[in-house]
Every structure is written in C-alpha cells, then in structure tokens.
Amino acid sequence: MNQEIILNGSDFLLEDLVQIARNNVGIKISSESEERINKARKLIEKWVKDGERIYGVTTGFGALSDVTISLEDTKKLQKKILLSHAAGLGSHMEDDVVRGMMALRVNDFCRGNSGLRQETIEKLAQILNSGIVPLVPEKGSVGASGDLVPMAHLALVLIGEGEAFIEGKRMSGARALRKKAIKPLELEAGEGLALINGTQFMISLGCLALHDALNLCKHADIAASMSLETLMGTRSAFDPRIHNARPHTGQIKAANNMLRITENSEIISSHGDCTRVQDAYTLRCSPQVHGASWDAFGYVDNVIRVEMNSSTENPLIF
C-alpha cells in the first residue's frame, strides 16, 4: 500500500472511508489506540481467570445468557458463534461495501471498548490491506441489535473459514489467506462475539450512499446553473441577501453554489440588459428546491459521522 489512513476511533472521516472502500487505500492502527486495546484486553483476561460472569465472554448468548461457559469451552464457543451466525442469503455485497465494513470495524475496535486482542484487530487490518475481500451475503442482518450475520461472514475469513475474493476471483477463506501468506487466527475468550456484534454493515452502506447522494446534490446545482445559462436567466435570484432573509442552511448552500458556478459567465452577462422582471420558478427557485435535499442529507451526514466513530459492540468494556 502506497497510502495509509491512521485510525484512532474518534476522527474517521466519510472522505477517508470512501478512499479505503473504493480506491484501495490501506489502514493503520494508531499508537494511542493500541494502549486502549491492550488495557481492555487485560481486564477481559483477568475477569475470565477470576471466574467473573460476563455476557458473551463466560456466558452463552441471547436467551442462553444465564448459562455459564467453562474456561475450557470459551475458545470453542468463539468459533462456533461465527459458524452459527454465518447464515446469510442472496448475492454477495460489492467489494467497496465490504472494505468499508472492515475499515469501520477496525475503527470501532480502536476505541478500546471491545476487549479484543491487538493481534486480532491487526489481523483484520492486514486482511483489508492485502486486498482480500470476504464474501458477505446481502441478506440476513437483523438490523437494530447489530449486523450479526454479515459480520459473521466477514469474520470467518480471519480464522480461515468462509469464502473471499481476491481481484474478483472467488475462493475459500483458507486459500485466500494462503495466497497472501497470512496465518489464520485462533480466537480467544470473548472475541467471537466482539467481532460480529456491531453495525458496520449498515454503516458502510449508509456511508457510501451518503457520499453518492452528496455528489448528486453538487451535480444538481451544476446542472441547474447550466440550465440558467441555456435559458438566458439571471443570477439575481441567488443574491445572499435573499436567502439570508429565509435562512435555511441547504437553501443558502445551493444558492451560493449556483452563484459561484455562474460567476463571470459570458452567456449570462451577454443579456444583462434584458427587460424580463424575473425568471420562471424552475430557475429562480432552484436553491429552495435543492436546499431541501442538502438539508436532509446534512442531517444524515451528522448521524453517519457519529456512528462512524462509535463503539457498537455488546458487551462494552470500560
């Protein structure tokens, strides 16, 4: 990888996620994240050794949360939760969605609330950086409680199970790791649940959809500006004073965009002495119409950026 984006769990940007997902930029875990990760893992190891009852670590899952798991069976449990939840159906997700999932998952783990070993998190980053793309079926997520099924399919490749793609070629997870000289991981206490109990499948989809939607908003402003020129309209309707009198954020943004795009337009200036009092709604009200979309996606943007830098697993280790 010629480029790397350093993840620390707190300032992951939408623009960075797109670079990783679609332009094959690599990732690296920050040094301050390593300290948090190791501190949380030491707590898990201590609690397991002391026989503490911790959901999903020394107990079963869901309805079996009251069932205590013996120390001898904790490792076996972690592998089985991946295998049992990898029950997705339908076509596989696109590479950019899966790469986005992996990057978001690593960023989540960088916050130090998962209890995973640093080795496990680095292995996931290594798989992403190597160009391996786990096969993740499009159907199966339960949504609100977490993307358990898609995350299980993703995590299977860590342990040499499941399926994956390398440069579009489908193969077993074990073969994919061998081709990239990556050794399969053996999960320790609590790691199976920590790997699958998150929302990165829906966040990745949301991030990429939001990026494309914001790009479409920009193109809509460009297209409207070109239409203004073609129909020999006036820029006067985009005067900031007009929009500050009715100060919707998206409307102001769209008007400012169209004002900048048409600045010094020779076509518009060529008919500056036109006697027309005002243009049709389709031209002069473009900022008001486009602004509603800018506002809607602005709200989504705020939610997505919070989710990108959140801890989404259960249990959370403090």
Would you name the residues annotated as active-site residues?
Answer: 55
Neighbours of 281 (CB within 10 A): 10
What does the buried/exposed string (b/e) look like for 115-139 if buried means 16 or more CB atoms within 10 Å of the residue's CB? bbbbebbbbbbbbbbbbbbbbbbbe
Distance CA 86, CA 244 (A): 53
- CA distances (Å), 268 to each of 197, 239, 275, in order? 56, 15, 14
Lookup: tokens for 230: 């073609």
Distance CA 1, CA 26 (A): 6
CB 185 within 8 A of CB 283: no
Task: State residue 4 phi and psi, 5-degree precision.
Answer: -140, 140
134 cis-preceded (ω within 30 degrees of 0)? no
Distance CA 201, CA 314 (A): 16
